[in-house]
């Protein structure tokens, strides 16, 4: 589908992520070299989710402000929190898929379902094409799944037990999954530490978490996940709790694990600039639903959904000379009683009547797709979409567009058109190397 009049230029080029924003996230001289060319990596699906849904029951009570169910109404439907609704994604071998969205969009809940930590309300999980039926996390089936799908939690200060040393944390998964004998244990632990750039490994064996920096703790947590030789790594905001100066090192480590070990990685983040740098594909979530997905460069350079455009507009640009005026202000909706139709329509500056009546479908396919009625010629009203950007910046401050607006979005472009090596090569040529933290976060305060 092509953009309707007005939306094709909405936020483009002003809403695209400029090279100066990326330069402040990724210093050019620290980009790791690919050990495996992206073009030679087959996009082999490892973990697939189909229409994954999670609703948490809301237990009413005085503290929650909910009235108790009157007697005789036991058949009344219980209220639920719509954390994730109908999410479909594929994690392929040797690729990084980033999930971006503000707090409460369902990113962490999605990762926990993929890891098997919580049971989905609906939908299907497939590992190597075989459906996974896991009512509990116990037993040989659950343990085998856990060995292949590992998760790195957000906070390295709480994910490690403070009363145990590094050796204990790394020895436990090796022994539980019977991947090492006592004679080989220290040797394998040392190799794991050096694999995550904690060298020499012997110097860290008997250190406790309080003796490590935040970045070192997160590397130990990654080493713990790698101990069982997983095929899928779920990284839930792995750098959000780290200092600015060490975030890039962890991102480069994840990129190296993708390229060298061919891991399928899910990278959850608020920082859309780091997602563009690291990921091959980006999936944007809002209020539990996917609103846009596609190759990382296309999603950030040619955003087709108004919410994605708003996120990119909210990312501060060091090259900007005048203050931005954002449109579409507001707060995320209640997920107990989400809005009808498109969940973004109460905040959308281009909302039409159909947006509040029907939920826009997300087209199937591996290219650049968006769930927006403005992209449907049968529903779009040419007079509804404003020809202006989602932000009112002077045209002279916008970065040069890499493609004519009439060509966006490239809904039929395959995901392989944005190899990681190309993105990193672009970052290397950036004229603004810096170690400053990206300001591209998309938390609640940003939109």
| pLDDT > 80? residue 42 | no
pLDDT category at 349 given cuts 50, 70, 90 is: confident
Question: Which residues, 6 or more positions from 152, have their beta carbon under 8 angstroms from its beta carbon?
Answer: 218, 221, 222, 225, 233, 234, 235, 236, 238
Contact 18, 395 (CB under 8 A): no
pLDDT digits over 126-173, tens only? 999 888 875 444 445 688 899 999 999 988 888 899 999 999 999 999
Query: Does any domain span residue 86?
Result: yes
Q: Does any domain span residue 221?
A: no
State the pLDDT confidence band at 73, using cuts at 50, 70 and 90.
low
Q: What is the model's pLDDT at position 181?
A: 84
Q: pLDDT at residue 180 above 80?
A: yes
Which range of residues forms the domain containing residue 273? 19-53+80-154+237-446
194 part of a folded domain: no
Decide if 362 is inside a domain. yes
**CATH number, residue 103:** 3.40.50.300
Percent of the chain with pLDDT over 90: 47
Cβ contacts of 25 within 8 Å, gap of 6 or more? 248, 271, 273, 274, 277, 437, 438, 440
pLDDT at residue 83, rounded to an integer: 95
The per-residue pLDDT for range 198-224, each reduced to its tens digit, is 999 999 999 999 999 989 999 999 999
Domains held by the chain: number: 1
pTM of the model: 0.75
Quote the pLDDT of residue 404: 39
pLDDT tens, residue by residue, 2-15: 444 334 433 333 44
Residue 168 included in any domain: no
Here the tokens at position 82 are 């719509």
Would you state the pLDDT for residue 272? 87
pLDDT band at residue 380 under the 50/70/90 scheme: low
Q: Give the mean pLDDT of the chain.
A: 76
Position 171 in a domain: no
């Amino acid at each position: 589908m092509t953009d309707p009049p007005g939306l094709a230029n909405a936020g483009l080029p002003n809403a695209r992520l400029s090279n100066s924003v990326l330069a402040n996230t990724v210093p050019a001289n620290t980009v790791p070299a690919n050990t495996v060319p992206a073009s030679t990596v087959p996009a082999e699906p490892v973990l697939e989710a189909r229409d994954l849904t999670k609703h948490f029951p809301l237990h009413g009570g005085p503290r929650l402000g909910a009235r108790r169910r009157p007697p005789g109404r036991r058949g009344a439907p219980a209220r639920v929190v719509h954390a994730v609704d109908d999410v479909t994604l594929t994690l392929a071998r040797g690729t990084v898929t980033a999930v971006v969205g503000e707090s409460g969009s369902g990113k962490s809940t999605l990762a926990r379902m993929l890891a098997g930590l919580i049971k989905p309300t609906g939908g299907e999980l497939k590992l190597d094409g075989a459906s996974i039926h896991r009512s509990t996390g116990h037993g040989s089936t659950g343990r085998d799944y856990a060995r292949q799908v590992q998760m790195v939690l957000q906070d390295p200060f709480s994910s490690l037990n403070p009363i145990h040393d590094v050796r204990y944390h790394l020895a436990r998964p090796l022994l539980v999954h019977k991947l090492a004998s006592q004679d080989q244990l220290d040797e394998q632990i040392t190799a794991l530490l050096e694999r995550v750039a904690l060298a020499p490994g012997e110097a860290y064996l008997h250190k406790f978490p309080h003796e490590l920096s935040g970045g070192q703790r997160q590397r130990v947590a990654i080493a713990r996940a790698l101990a069982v030789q997983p095929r899928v790594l779920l990284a839930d905001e792995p750098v959000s709790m780290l200092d600015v100066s060490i975030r890039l090192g962890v991102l480069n480590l994840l990129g190296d694990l993708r390229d060298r070990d061919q891991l399928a990685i899910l990278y959850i983040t608020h920082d859309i600039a780091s997602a563009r740098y690291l990921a091959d594909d980006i999936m944007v979530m809002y209020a539990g639903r996917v609103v846009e997905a596609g190759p990382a460069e296309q999603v950030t350079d040619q955003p087709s959904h108004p919410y994605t455009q708003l996120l990119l507009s909210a990312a501060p640009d060091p090259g900007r000379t005048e203050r931005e005026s954002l449109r579409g202000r507001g707060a995320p909706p209640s997920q107990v009683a989400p809005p009808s139709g498109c969940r973004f329509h109460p905040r959308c500056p281009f909302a039409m009547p159909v947006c509040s009546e029907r939920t826009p479908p997300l087209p199937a396919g591996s290219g650049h797709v968006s769930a927006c009625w403005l992209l449907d010629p049968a529903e779009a009203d040419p007079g509804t979409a404003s020809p202006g950007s989602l932000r009112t910046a002077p045209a002279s401050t916008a970065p040069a567009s890499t493609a004519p607006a009439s060509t966006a979005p490239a809904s039929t472009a395959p995901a392989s058109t944005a190899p990681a090596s190309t993105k990193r090569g672009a970052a290397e040529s950036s004229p603004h190397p810096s170690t400053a933290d990206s300001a591209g976060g998309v938390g609640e305060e940003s939109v």
